Each structure stands twice: as C-alpha cells, then as structure tokens.
Amino acid sequence: MILNFDSLIKNYLFRIRHICVYDIRNPKDKVRVEMRQAHRQTLTFSTSIGLVCATLFATASAETVTKKHTGHRSKSSQQTSSVTTHAKAMPVTVVPVASTAASSVQMSTAARRRLFTPRSADESIVVTGSALATRADSNANPVQTITAKQITSTSATTLGDYLLRLPSIGSSGTNNTNTNGGLGMSCTDIRNLGPSRVLVLVDGKRQVPTFGSGSQCVDLNSIPVDQIESVEILKDGGSELYGADAVSGVINIKLRHNTTKGDILIRGGITDHGDGQMGKISGYKGFDFDHGKGNITLFGSYMTQSGIRQKTRDWAANPWNSDAEVGETPTIGSSVTTNTRVIGSNFDVVSNGTGGGNSGAFHNFASSDRYNFASDQMLTNSLQQAVLSGDMHYEVNEHFDLYSSIRYTHKDAMNTLAGNPVTGATYPSTLSSAVTLPAASPYNIWGEDVSLYRRFSDLGERKYEEAFDQWQYTGGSKGKIVGNWMYDVSMSYGQTLAKFSTENMTNYAHYLQELGIQQVDPSDANSAVVYNPSICQASAGCSLTNPFGKLTSQQADYLRYTQNDHSTYQMRDFNARVHNNHLVHMPWQGGGDFGIAMGLEHRSEQASYTPDVLASNGDLGGGATYTGGGYNVTEAYIEGNLPLLHNMPFAHDLSVDAQGRWSDYNTFGTAYNWKTSINWAPVRDIRFRATLGTSFRAPTMTELYGGHSISYNSGNDPCAQASSYGSLSANVVATCAKQGVNTATFVNANSSQIPTLVGGNSALKPEEGRTYTFGTVITPRWIPNLMVSVEYWHYTIKNMITTLPVQYIVDSCYTGTNTGWCSNVASRSSAGQLTQVDDLYSNAGGLRTNGLDFDLNYRIRLSPHDHLNLSNNFQQLIGYLQQNEPGGTWYNYAGRLFYQSGYGMPRVRDYATATWSHNNFSLTYMMSYTGGMRFNDGSNDLSCKVYSYCKVPGIFAHDVTLNYNTKNWQFEVGVNNILDKKPPFVPDGATNTALSMYSEEIIGRYVFAQIGRSF
C-alpha cells in the first residue's frame, strides 16, 4: 500500500481550517457541535487545534484591526513587518480564541478571504532600499529597523535624540544640545558624512526641509515620536533609487496608519538636578467606514521640554577659554568684559565702572576680569511642539485605492547666551571694524586712539526664539493595472515657515553715535575715525554716553534691538511608480519570479532666508545677506530583481538586484547612478551579501545660494599661540610681524573664536561618489532565534562639498605650509585683531571612509513565562581620510575629536540592550559606549607634551526601563544615565565638553514615567 502523504497533509489542513471556520464564525452554534467533534476525532494532534485556530484567527484579526501599511502600499505589498538586518521570517503572536471572539464581528470580507487562503512560507515585504516586495531573507542591503517600543523605552523626546544612540549615526549633525546657532533643529547624519548626504523619508515620501541661516535639513524634532511605528535605516548609498541626497543612506520613518484602535499617552520626565522638565500628551484614533473599505486615522500631540542652564552643571560652570599648555594656568571665560576694556599701544586696562576721567578709574586687565558667560548660557534648548495629522484611504476597487495624509507641526525653541559682546563690525557692515575711541573724545585720557571692548550685559542676556510652522500634504492612488502590474501615483506639497528672533542685540550704529564716533570714509570698515558729537545730537533719541560708566535707561533703549529673521522652504514632488513582483518565472529548476519596478519623479524646491533689515544693512555691526533660490529635477528609475535559485543544493537562496536612476537638473544637467547587489545563502544558516553603487549629489540651496554672514567659529588666532607650533613657530612669529602684530604682547580680544565668513558658493560643482558593502548573516538552526551579522562598508566621495575647520585655514597660512590660504584671511583691524576668515562652501578634494558593523539579536526562552531578548549594534571605524583641497594631503581623522567644534569620529561605538520579560512585566537595560579620541584642530593632533589635554577616554552610559502592560493599560518608568556619568572634559572654549558627542552625559541622570490607555 502506497500512502499519498501530500493528500493526507492537504486533508489534515482542510479539516483544521474547516473547524476553525466554524469556531470563528459560529463559536456557540450547537448545530455544528457534533460535526466539529467528529472532525476533531479524525485528527491525531487534536490538542493543537486550539493553537492552530488561534493563530489563524489572530492573523486575520490583526490584519483587520491594524491594516498596517507603509506610505499606502499597493496590495502586492500589504504584508509588512519590522525587519532587522537579518530579516528572518515574521513571528506570529498566538492569542486565545476567546479573547478575540468579539473582534471577529469587525472582520471584513477581504480579511476573511485572506485568512483562509493558503500562504507561502516565504512572505514578501517591502524594505527600504528596494522598490520591490521580496522575501525578507533575500535583501542584500544592510537595513536596520528600530521599533516604536525601542524608542519609547528611552528618555528620548524626539527621534533625533534617540538616533544619537546608534553607532552608525554620526555627530556632525545638529541636535538639541546645539544652542549657539542650533536654531532648535535636529539634523541627523549617517557615518559622519553630514546631514546633507542623508535622505529622510516619511512613509517612503520625501519631506519638506526646514531652512535656517546657513543650514537646512528635515527637522526630526518636527516628527512626533508617539506617531512612529518603526524606523528603517539603510546604511548604504541609495542615490540610485531615491535621489541625489541619499549618499550615505536613507532613514525611512513609518508612521501609524489605518487602524481602528485608539490610544492616549501621558509622559513626563526630569533630571536629578530638577531641570530639563518634559511633559507630553498624545493620542490617536482610527475609524473604519463603508464596511472596511475606507479608514480615517487622526493623531495629535503636545510636548514641552525646558532647557538646562550651563551654570547648573559643575563640570561646565567655569569654561576654559582654550586648551592651556602644560604648566600654564587655564584662562576662564571671555576676555570681553562687562566693564569697558581699553587696549592702547602699551597698556591694557579695564574700567572700574565709575565713569571717572582719570587713571584711578581703571585697573590693569587681569584674569579675574574675564566674564564667565556660563552664568547666562544654556546647554540644551527649550522646546514646545504641537502636531496634528490625519490619514485617510478609500478602496473603490482593486484598481483604485485612494489615499491622502496631512501633517501640521508648530514648534517653538528657545535658548539664551550671554549679553552681546561688541568689539567692532563684521561683514556685511562697513561700519568701523574696531570700536576706536578718538584721542579728541573728552573721555579719552590717554592722548591716543584706543580700542574699546564691552559686553552689554546691562541690555540683558541674548534670548534666541525660533518659531516653525510646517505642513505637508500627500495624496494619490494605487492599485492593480492588469495582472501583477501595480501602480502608485502621488503628489506631495510641503512648506516650512520659520521666524528667528534675537532679543537684546546691540544696535552698533547707535552705539557709535552715542560715543560720537564718525568714520572719515563711511564705505571703509578700516577707515580712520574722528570725534563728532553732532552725529548723536542730530539723531532722535540719542544721548552722548560715557563709555566707562553705566547706561541710562534712555541710552539702553536706544541701543537695544530685537532682530527678526524669516525663512521659507517649499517643495513639490510628483511620483509615478509601477512594479511587477512576478513578471516572469525563471524557466529552470529552483528559479524564482523576476520582478521589475520603474518610476518617474519631478521635484521642485524653493527657499529663501530674509535677514532683519538692520542685520542686512550693517547697522547691527554684522548679520547676513538675503538667501534665495531654487531648482527642479526630473528623474526616472528602474530596478530589477532576479531570484536565480531557491532551495537548491549549495543555493538555498541566490538572487541579484540592479538599480539605476537618471536625473536631469535645471542647474547641473544630467547624471546617472547605478547599484547592483547579490545575496547568496548556500544553506539556511548563513548567507552572504554585497552591494556596489555610485552617487551624485547636487549642492543644496544652502550650499549654493546661502547668504553670507559672519559666524564666530571656534578657533585660536595663531598670533596668540605662536609658541605652540613647534618647529613652525618662527614662521608664525614672522607672519604676524609682517601684519604689525608682536606675538609677545598680543592680546586676542575674540578669545577662542575667529570671525568666519560663511555662506553659499554659486561656483560649486556636484559631488560624485562610490559605495560598496559586503558581509554575512548567520542564523544557525541549532541556536533558534539567534542572528549575527558582520558588514564591511566603504564610501568614496570626489569634489566633496564642505566647509573646513577655520583653524586649518589660518594655520596653513601663518605656518607657511600652504600660503594659498592667506587669500582667505582678511586684513587685521587697526587694533591688530582678525576681522574675517573666508570659509564658504567649496569643492574640497575628497573623502574616503570605511569600517565594520557587527549586529547581534538573540531571543532566549527561559521558561513558559520568561524571555530574554539580547541585541547589540557595534561599529568599528577603520579609516576616515579627508583631502581638504584638490590634490592636497590626505588627513586621517579616524579616532579624532575636533575639540573646538564639538564633534568627532571615534573608532569604536557600541549600543547594547537586554530585555527580560515575565508575563506583563519587562525590564530593559541599555548600554552605550563611545571610544576614546585624540584632539585635532583640523590640521594636527594636539601634542600631549605641549597641551594639558590632548585626548578623551572611552565612556559608558547605562539606562534602565521597567514596563507593565495589561490589555488596555501601559505603564513605564525609567532612568537614563543611571550612574550620572559626566561627559569627558574637552576645552572647546564654551562648555568644557563636546556637545555633539555626549548628549546623554550632558543632561545627567534623568528619570521619566509614562502611562497609556488603549481603547
């Protein structure tokens, strides 16, 4: 007798399904009881029936209730899962049938049909990095997925705060610890390649950036954490599929959509110093209509977070002015004092504040006169944010599934800095580059022209307030064309409006009037000046002031000014996409279905930045010029995926993928990018993957059209530290002498800052690059639920668009190593101070960086009620070579910290988590590690024999979170930086640490709690 096992299995599955149908549709139907019992008696494994039925029922119920989709996918890609780099088969949660019986009433006909349709074991999904739905284990791109639970298990109030934990996220972006020029924005970065080289998507769609003075990015602060379902990070170039700005990778944020659930969440937190308070409330609710053919999901949230003042942290309360040489006493604070400082030909004195006109009213400048700006400065921004969003789709039929979504965000950010220091005018002003008090002034007792330096704290601390209004609408239709051909046509329009307000600025033109100072040549910032009191007397509201006394209220009001700048950014994006996952089946044994995807995109972007009228005309002694411009690009892409072999000897899976994109810019012409990849699994337990692709990046509007302004970048005047250059010190002394500066007596009024002209460059050319990765993923069958992956990655960029460390420019000039940079250094002021160093965006030589990623995920079943989840993300940076000028020297910045700028490239970074779950309880431990680095000023590593500090050690941070969840309630409490680890000491001239590197340590120990209610 020959048994037909195939028929037996089919009959077995049919009976299970038959029972489940009765159990689900008619759980209490007495007429069917006997029939169900008869069927059960024929099954050997009757004890498994409830489990199997529950699994089938849970799958159908989950599909009906949540209807998960990403960016309104077409039907061919409705099955979605959180996929890590190993992307194993999707787990199914089993729940008792009784607990979901009530939900079965809501199940649509389509859901029932899907429930009882046999499924392939190789479920296809769409993962960032491909436009095709493929099996999860055949994706060659290194993609890391972050779930909503992982984000909310930390103290992160914004997505940008969370991403800083990940080793692949660099520190050269902007985050909430950047208060001096940060604009309240959060700009992310992959592999330390900069925010302009990473593409941020939401549900697969481009987002409108936020535009500031000299910066632009998709602001992660504007995307509420509670609306996020998952985040996929493509840690590989994606220009050939997504466009030019995906050089380093893509971050695709998937939001909650299309649900019938509701949820309200309240969250709060505070540091153990009693500051950094955070409060948040959010909620969402989804509604089905027309028998499940349509759905509307609404979301809203409000979040407020107070800033942290620098004086409240003992490690930052006394900021070093610069890195002291060995044996020297460090200088603390700024050399621009609140009482007027006077520097003449052979003296340096400070007013006693009495306003007296004799030598007894002054004393020699000493370290005790320095102003400690930490008393007024903030370490983190204060944030307030409100978000409203709505999502709707309606399935007319299988050919027309209409969808639309809209999101509006209003955000306010605030930070403070010390009172405005006034030392002279900078670009674009033509007012006096130095505050020179003429010898003829009645308050000048020295008989010569002298230079004045004063910090106007009596006007109040500078208060920066940034207000952002951003909205984006996306609408379209998707569905079946014919056969397996699917389409998705959409249009997105977004706009960001921003206002930047700075209170208590000093009207420099009015200050000169109050002093009676008049330029001989008003068009020349270095012009000689004369004393002429009539210029004040002729100006309404002006009264002559004693530069060494206190301001009257009238004089203060005449000087005080609130600067208001405005920016806007608009984006229009039209997309037409088609794909066929099963175009043709390969005609050989083990062959799969060839898939193809194609698309057209037309995008236009316009931006403008309008500075305050007094900032642009120079009356404030500096400011910025107007920024405005735009571009449009038409693009087409194609992708083909060929599964060569599956379930064959030495080829459990073998597939190749190829992508290409053609771009036509109205500014730079055409460009072509391509990428190819291969995925090979000889057996189920191990697979190998590799990618190779090119990139082309056109300059952003900031880089191309950005208005010029003076930024006080971190750096030291070479004439103030001539002895620190070793064998090149003699060159520095000689160069300074040619400019009339005696290095033995020179006083640097700008302390650890250099006036730097920044802005766009219309002569820029696009970047070109190449990226390749290869690695392996191990999922051994003998160790269930274990995944280990190792990935090698390498990026090369030519004609790199960047700005350079300003220290590199001045050092190259003054040491004579490259005198070509001297053309970027403007003439010194009459007081011998640096007035301007040009550091506009330029096409530098190039960049090469490479490294290794090691990822591990392991789920261990300890008992029927206990599980342990382990994960680890590790990055080893092998090299970071940068060529600062075409044909120039290659500098290896791997393991270096740009200590003056606050960001660096550690060789080792690691983030590990361990979660123990027991029934409704779970306890999560998180550890992050940042490796040690050597200090570098952009030119050289600092010598440990010369400087007091030359490196930082590696540093660990530890967090703990406890969760308790019931059917409808969720409770969570946690402590971040539980050991209250302090950030390493970094003499950056402002905060005593590297703000972009150690955000968690800067905040200190932080406690938070949240409660949620589902309905």
Q: Work out whether strand 753-758 and strand 837-838 pair parallel, antiparallel, or are unpaired.
A: parallel
Asked whether residue 293 carries a pLDDT value surpassing 50, the answer given is: yes
The pLDDT tens digits for 881-894 are: 999 888 888 999 99
| H or E, element range at 891 | strand 890-892
Structure tokens at 63: 């599909």
User: pLDDT exceeding 90 applies to what percent of the chain?
Assistant: 65
- If you average pLDDT over residues 75-80, what whole number do you get? 36
What is the rounded average pLDDT of the residues 804-811?
91
Token code pair at residue 839? 């550091």
Greater pLDDT, 356 or 45:
356
Q: How far is CA 667 from its chain centroid?
A: 27
Q: What CA–CA distance (Å, rounded) separates 372 from 337?
A: 9
d(CA 428, CA 430): 7
Please report, for the chain, how many H helices and E strands are present, in that order: 16, 49
Instruction: Provide the phi-psi class of 823: left if phi over 0, else alpha when psi is between -120 and 50, else beta.
Output: alpha
Q: Which residue has the higher pLDDT, 612 or 109?
A: 612
CB 696 within 8 A of CB 663: yes
Residue 111 phi, psi dihedral angles, 5° rounding: -65, -40
* β-bridge mates for residue 713, sequence order: 754
| 451/423 Cα distance (integer angstroms) | 8
Q: What is the predicted pLDDT for the residue at 890?
A: 92
Percentage of residues in the chain with pLDDT exceeding 70? Answer: 86
One-letter-per-residue 3-state SS of 468-499: EEEEEEEEEEEEEEECCEEEEEEEEEEEEEEE
Q: Which of 157, 201, 219 lies closest to 470, judged by CA? A: 219
Instruction: Summarize pLDDT for 959-998 with one digit per residue, the tens.
Output: 999 999 999 999 999 999 999 999 999 999 889 999 889 9
pLDDT surpasses 60 at 110: no
Mean pLDDT of 91-116: 37
Give tens-digit pLDDT for 830-856.
778 888 899 999 998 899 999 999 999
Strands 955-965 and 921-930, bridge-based pairing: antiparallel
DSSP letters for 636-692: EEEEEEEEEEEEETTEEEEEEEEEEEEEEETTTEEEEEEEEEEEEEEETTEEEEEEE
Q: Residue 103 above 70 pLDDT?
A: no
Q: How much is the pLDDT for 269?
A: 96
Q: Is 907 left (phi over 0), alpha (psi -120 to 50) or beta?
A: alpha
pLDDT(48) > 50: no
User: Which residues lie across from 305 on neighbouring strands?
Assistant: 278, 383
Q: Of the ranges 240-244, 553-557, 691-695, 809-813, which one carries the lowest mean pLDDT score?
A: 240-244
Q: Which of 173-187, 205-219, 330-344 has the lowest mean pLDDT?
A: 173-187
- Is the pLDDT score of 577 beyond 70? yes
Nearest CA to 253 out of 190, 203, 199 is that of: 203
So what's the pLDDT on residue 393? 94
List, for residues 942-954, the tens digit of each pLDDT value.
999 989 999 999 9
106: pLDDT confidence band, cut at 50, 70 and 90? Answer: very low
